[in-house]
Structures are given as C-alpha cells and as structure tokens.
Amino acid sequence: MRKWILIIVGIILIGIIGIGVKINSDLNDVAEAFKSEHALNEPNLNILSESISPDKKYKYYEYQFDNGGFGYSRVFWSVIKNDENKNDLEKGLIPNGYKIIEWNNNSELTLKKWKPYYESNTTYELDGKTEFNGIKIKITE
C-alpha cells in the first residue's frame, strides 16, 4: 500500500513540475512579445525625430514602440554613428533622466535633465561627464 502511495505522489510531483515548466515557458514568450529590440529594422518602431550631427559622424533618434492595443511605449533617445550598416539603437541609448535636445555647431549633443513619469527615483548617471560613447555632450537643467 505504501508503495502505491509513493508512486502516486511521484506522478503528482512530476505533473506539478511539468506544469511549472510550461507556465514559465509561456511567461517567457509573453515577456518576449512585449520586449522590443532597439533597432532601426524593428517593425513596431515609430521614429518621432532624427538629426545628423553637423560633422555628419553621428545621428540621434527620438522614438517609441507601437505596442498594438496597448498603445505606444515611452519615448527613447539614442545616438549612434551615422553609418549605413548601423541600426542597433540599444548601444547608444541615452540613460533615464536625460533627453536629447539638439546638436550645437561644434557637433556636441545637448541633453536635458528631466524626471521621467515612469521612474520615481531617477539617478543622473551622466552628471559631471563631458562624453557619452565618444560623443561630446553638454547637459542643461
């Protein structure tokens, strides 16, 4: 009798583990569906503005993602090299708490500090810095 109880408990445990693995796999699929890649070839990318630096070396993008029935995502800013083969916006993603304003005549990127609505404890990572990914920056309040 004990043997049968152990077999039944073992089968139930295997079933519970299988269900847990399936749920975890489904949750990963859902997370992937909501996670968009920061790339120019992303089909759900909505570019709001773009601008080439005066020296033509870099280009910045202001963009968001179209999440279908969930509307648009927050706005992102990214600056990358102005190269035909460059489409990875994630490498030039501007940290939270800053937004791109414009290029100045010296090909410096002007950033403005701001408090994002989606983040209550913004820390300013670029304070005191004069470069971001090799690009000269100027931060305004």
Q: What are phi and psi of 70, to 5 degrees?
A: -90, 0
pTM score, whole prediction: 0.67
Give per-residue burial for 26-55: e unless 16+ CB within 10 Å, then b.
Answer: eeeeeeeeeebebebeeeebeeeeeeebee
Q: What is the pLDDT of residues 72-125, one digit of tens each?
A: 888 899 999 888 677 788 888 888 888 899 998 888 999 888 877 776 666 667
Per-residue pLDDT at 27: 66
Mean pLDDT over the full length of the chain:
82
Give me the residue spans of the domains in the chain: 1-35, 45-140
Q: Is pLDDT at 137 greater than 90 in this prediction?
A: no
What is residue 101's three-state secondary structure?
strand
Q: Is pLDDT at 3 greater than 70 in this prediction?
A: yes
